[in-house]
Amino acid sequence: MARKNLHEAKRWYQQAAYDLAAARWNFQGTFYNTTCFLAQQAAGKALKSVLYYLGARRQALLTHSVATIEVLKRSCRGGGQGAQPPAPSPTTPPPTPTAAFGCAKS
């Protein structure tokens, strides 16, 4: 594995750990919508860290879609080659995160 990929894997992992710590801190303060956002960010960065560790190229990781990153991860392990992430549902948009968790003020 290239040294640069190991360096990038460590950088992304450190940021993922920081985002997860921030998510936990926000959870304790009952800021649930921010908790969800930061947890999603942490998950995406942790997956990118794994992909860099496995030798993925930077160009392949220029995405913010956790579903796409998961497909790339499977490809790096030799399975799911050519798989596509699931298409978004054409349903009504979900409520805001604050409303979804019952935190919206009337």
User: pLDDT tens, 78-103?
Assistant: 544 444 444 545 555 555 555 555 55
Residue 73 domain boundaries: 3-100
Is residue 46 in some structural domain? yes
Is residue 58 in some structural domain? yes
Rounded CA gap, 6 and 37, in Å?
27
Q: Write out pLDDT tens, residues 53-84.
A: 888 777 666 665 666 656 666 665 554 444 44
Rounded CA gap, 23 and 67, in Å?
20
Is residue 42 in some structural domain? yes
Is residue 32 in some structural domain? yes
SS (H, E, C) the chain: CCHHHHHHHHHHHHHHHHHHHHHHHHHHCCCHHHHHHHHHHHHHHHHHHHHHHCCCCHHHHCCCCHHHHHHHHHHHCCCCCCCCCCCCCCCCCCCCHHHHCCCCCC
Rounded CA gap, 44 and 102, in Å?
26
Is residue 105 in some structural domain? no
pTM value > 0.75: no
Number of structural domains found in the chain: 1
CATH code, 18: 1.20.120
Is residue 106 in some structural domain? no
